[in-house]
A and B are shown apart, each in its own frame.
Chain A
Amino acid sequence: MIQYSLILIVNVSVADDRSKYQLTIRVGAYDNRPKIYTNESGQIEGLFPDILNEIAKKESWHLEYVHGSWSECLSRLEKNDIDIMVDVAFSKARAQRFIFNEETFLVNWATVYTSKDIRIHSLIDLKNKTIAVMKGSIHTDGDNGIKRLLYQFAIDCEFIEVDSYKDVLTCLSNRKADAGVVNRIFGTLFARLYGVKETSIIFNPSHIKFAFPKQSPIAKKVINRIDEHLSKMKDNPDSIYNKAMYVYLSGLPRELIFAKTTTNDHQNIILTHAEKEWIQNHPHISFGVDPEFAPFEYLNQRGELNGITFDYVSLMNQRLGLNMQVVKDLSWNIVMSKAKNKQIDVLPCVCVTKDRKKYLKFSDSYINFYRAIITRTDTPFLTGINDIEHMTVAVQENSSHKDYLLNQTTIKPIIYPTLRDALYATSNGKVQAFVGNIASAAYWIRKLNLVNLKIAAPTSQEAQTLHFAVRKDWPELVSIINKGLKSLTQQEEREIRKRWVNVDYKPGIDPGVVWQYIAQIVCAAGVVVLLFLLWNFRLKNEIRKRIQADKELNEANERLKKLDQLKSMFIASMSHELRTPLNSIIGFTGVILLGMTGPLNDKQKDHLTRVNNSAKHLLNLITDVIDISKIEAGRINVYPQDIKLSSIIDEAIIAIEPQLKSKNLTLQKNIPDDIQLHTDKKRLLQCLINYLSNAVKYTEKGSVTITTIKHDDKINISVTDTGIGIAKDDLPKLFNAFERLESHLKIKAGGTGLGLYLIRKLVTDILEGDVFVETQIGKGSTFGLIIPLSISLKNKKTK
């Protein structure tokens, strides 16, 4: 009885929290990277917390992480000292002690790994092998663990029991064991690091779920919400769940999970609990449209809703979880009267008027339009609303324009039920002018071919705003829609406008191409007149803005100049500062590799060679980047000198000799006569070495040939290989930065991806020549350069 009343008290306090839209949930936290752990700044993060936090954010829950070891956390859970534990494998025994949620968070299992040179395809292959396992793990001693599994198959083998998964993989990499058992997550994350190989043997699957205390008062509700969110997130490839799974299980940086993509911008919408509840309680919301209010909203020939408004309504439905549905086949007058009687809930595209405020509430505006005066083309020139005060003026019933004329002018308008009727009346002379929305008027003038109408003048230079209108007793929906509208990016709004404003509205029945063109020209002329008027109004403003813009442009220019100086300084200092530590790495690893500090075992030698090679690669990359930056900034010096062609070629060949020998390729020289050059020796040498080493890299057997041909005052030097060749489609991008073709080659051949780009830069910018390439796929390539025998040194820095 006492216990029962305690639970009641807890329930009451939970209800209190709920009224503040918050429920505090205590979560057991322990360290088990990457599933859950404490980061450097003391925050709990990992696969489970990141996804749980996302759910809590949506539900307005407050999560309080309670730190402890795995077993401490479990005993706290049993005593109801915490409300939830993450990463608990479901078992029948545990289900006696805890409540589990329904939806499995992920399925974990054990995987057998081997060292790289051992072949194990199935359990049978484990016979007489040594297997490293973690002491006490369910994958070792559990009912479905490896020991029992092998016993059932009557396979004999020896087990080494170690304390951690880390030790299991270490046993493999230093050959103490032939195979090892780790869980799937640890395996995928660390296999590469230990140089071990995954086999296809997996066993002992377990369903990892969230666990709750048996007597928890909130478990039922929380489980319900978690299950629903989990199942939704699993289905959505962009959800935090799927991103977190991918990122954590691939060992990628955690930030990637939360990186913004354009499609998840709407996750910025934070609805209050009350708002969410309101949406849930209003599963059907009806909205009405003016069927002729193009391009904002109109029904097409098939009776489907089209226009700018439709896009906005669809976006609001999608982002806010609303279900707004159009009520079709009603005239605008009927729509308005139904809206007054709350039979229609929402009008998605209307102006604010005094009369409408009595029965509608308005959202923020989301699109503007101009109110204009339409007259026949024979009407004299107008400047504004004052000029039509003595005229007969048509206006649409139930429009903001009617209210405007009645309340803000002395005009007594003649009211027509639809926009079309009002325009017809203007066209056939029943009235002298029409006042309405410029965009929809222009649309209908073209559509109805009312060639004797023109847009005469704007009523004022101020834009009218269009809003969502909601029945007055639903203020919650207004704030919800406002949140939705705020979540739209400028890009999205631009795209919607572009889609509908650029539509070519062709007349339904073609009354003749000539008339169509005339109508279009008339409309265009009308728009020009209107723009001219608007322009006049704004001219003064514009001049002020332009003076300001000019000033800003000058300032921006100054900033750019400073930035350029900064860039040059950066490159200059980078060349020294980046290379110095690399030189140390290359030097010291070189010393150790030579055995100068004592003997090394094979593994140490292999790994240190990798460090040494990587450092050399990085140094080359930096050198290439610096060279390119210098050329691009025009800061590279040219040192021309007299040099024999043959001596440069010999020097280049010496540089790549080791690579040639190691691949058993022959080198042929085809140099008919030795020529005296006056050029930058170092840069020409750099290009030739680059070409030659590329040729060697991409050739598996055959030869590399270096050929020179003299044409008048130019020399053509080319390197031909018998390698893989290059597809024709790839040729244009070959000499660009960071272009290497076909991914398998990238991996195999290494290199910086800057080599050919650098050659092109050096040849065109320093050596005053040009590069070329000829190739045949499967047969080989010829890369070459044509440079003048003597550099002219126009516009160049020399020493």
Chain B
Amino acid sequence: MKKALVIEDNENNMELITFILETNHYETIRAETGEKGIDLAINDHPDFILLDIQLPDIMGTEVLKIIRNHNACDSIPIIAITSYAMAGDRESLLNAGCDGYIEKPIDPMIVMDQIENVIHSRSQS
């Protein structure tokens, strides 16, 4: 069973994403802050990470950089969850080391396809 780390401060979003993942037979670990997210990313070896880029403590982009630059997890696929208001930042997100992004609102119909596409293309490259 693949393990997903979800870094998301909003309780509702967290429940939604983890529920969809678990229903699709993924194991989930949860981090409500950027700090806890970094800790779990390094120590718990998730297969991929879903990262909300609007976090209360550390900017999502900072979290992204720290995880990406750490030896233990530089190859873990990271998918950013963006909101519409952040549209202009998408290119910079990809430049900062994201493998893909999902735009809110999350559409349960296609979100698993989006996630699996990113993971798949990462493992091929």
- Chain A residues proximal to chain B, CB less than 8 Å: 575-576, 579-584, 586-588, 590-591, 594, 596, 616, 619, 623, 626, 637, 639, 682, 799
CB nearest to A576 among chain B residues = B85
Contacts of B10 in A (CB 8 A): 580, 584
A619 CA to B13 CA, complexed, in Å:
16
Q: Which residues of B contact A587 (CB under 8 A)?
A: 12-13, 16, 105-106, 108
**For the complex, is B20 an interface residue (Cβ under 8 Å from A)?**
yes
B108/A590 in contact, CB under 8 A: yes
- Tell whether, in the assembled complex, residue A619 and residue B105 are in contact, meaning their CB atoms are under 8 Å apart: yes
Which residues on B sit within 8 Å (CB–CB) of A594? 108-109
Please give, as numbers and ranges, the residues of chain B lying within 8 Å of A583 by CB-CB distance.
Answer: 12-13, 83, 104-106
A residues in contact with B54, CB < 8 Å = 576
**Cβ proximity bits B22-61 to A, threshold 8 Å, 1 near / 0 not:** 0100000000000000000000000000000010000000
CB <8 Å contact, B104 and A639: no
A596 engages B16 (CB within 8 Å): no
Closest to B110 in A: A590
Q: List 20 A-B contacts (CB under 8 A).
A: A576-B85, A581-B12, A583-B12, A583-B83, A583-B104, A583-B106, A584-B10, A584-B13, A587-B13, A588-B12, A588-B16, A590-B106, A590-B109, A591-B20, A591-B108, A596-B20, A596-B108, A626-B85, A639-B88, A682-B87
Q: Tell me which residues across on chain A come within 8 A of B104, comparing CB atoms.
A: 579, 583
Closest residue on chain A to residue B12 by CB atoms: A584
Contact between B19 and A591, CB atoms less than 8 A apart: yes
Contact with A along B8-21 (1 / 0, CB 8 A): 00101100100110
Interface string of B85-114 (1 = CB under 8 A from A): 101100000000000000011111100000
Query: How many Å from the CB of B88 to the closest CB on chain A?
Result: 6
Chain A's closest residue to B10 (CB) is A580
Q: How far is the CB of B107 from chain A (nearest CB, A)?
A: 6
Q: How many residues of B contact A (CB 8 A)?
A: 19
| Contacting residue for B23 out of A575, A588, A596, A799, CB 8 A | A596
A575 is contacted by which of B13, B19, B85 (Cβ under 8 Å)?
B85
Q: How far is the CA of A586 from the CA of B104 in the complex (A)?
A: 10
- What is the CA–CA distance of A576 and B85 in the complex, to the nearest angstrom? 8
> Sorted from nearest, which 8 A-B pairs have the closest CB atoms?
A584-B12, A583-B105, A590-B108, A586-B105, A587-B16, A575-B85, A591-B108, A583-B104
Which of A616, A637, A639 has most chain B Cβ within 10 Å? A639
Q: Which residues of A contact B16 (CB under 8 A)?
A: 584, 587-588, 591
Docked CA distance A319–B10 (Å): 60
- Distance between B78 CB and nearest chain A CB, rounded to angstroms: 21
Q: A596-B20, A596-B23, A619-B105 are in contact. List 16 more A-B contacts (CB 8 A).
A: A576-B54, A576-B85, A579-B83, A580-B12, A583-B13, A583-B106, A584-B10, A587-B12, A587-B105, A588-B12, A588-B16, A591-B16, A591-B19, A591-B20, A623-B84, A626-B85
**Residues on the A chain within 8 Å of B109, using CB:** 590, 594
Q: How far is the CB of B54 from chain A (nearest CB, A)?
A: 7
User: Whole-angstrom distance between the alpha carbons of A580 and B10 in the complex?
Assistant: 9
A660 to B42, CA, bound (A): 47
> Chain A nearest CB: distance from B14 CB in Å?
11
Contacts of B107 in A (CB 8 A): 586, 590
Closest to B17 in A: A587
A-chain residues with CB within 8 Å of residue B19 when the two chains form the complex: 591, 596
Q: Choose among A581, A582, A596 the residue with the greatest number of B CB atoms under 10 Å from its CB.
A: A596
Give the residue name and chain of the A residue nearest to B108 (CB).
A590
Nearest CB of A to B66, in Å:
23
Query: Bound complex: CA of A191 vs CA of B39, how far in Å?
Result: 57
Residues of A within 8 A of B23 (CB): 596
Q: Given the complex, which residues of B lie within 8 Å of A596, measured CB to CB?
A: 19-20, 23, 108
Residues of chain B within 8 A (CB-CB) of A586 are 105-107
Q: Which of A586, A587, A639 has the most CB of B within 10 A?
A: A587
Q: Which residue from chain A places its CB closest to the CB of B11 in the assembled complex? A: A584
**A626–B10 alpha-carbon span in the complex (Å):** 22
- Chain A residues with CB below 8 A from B85, complex form: 575-576, 579, 626
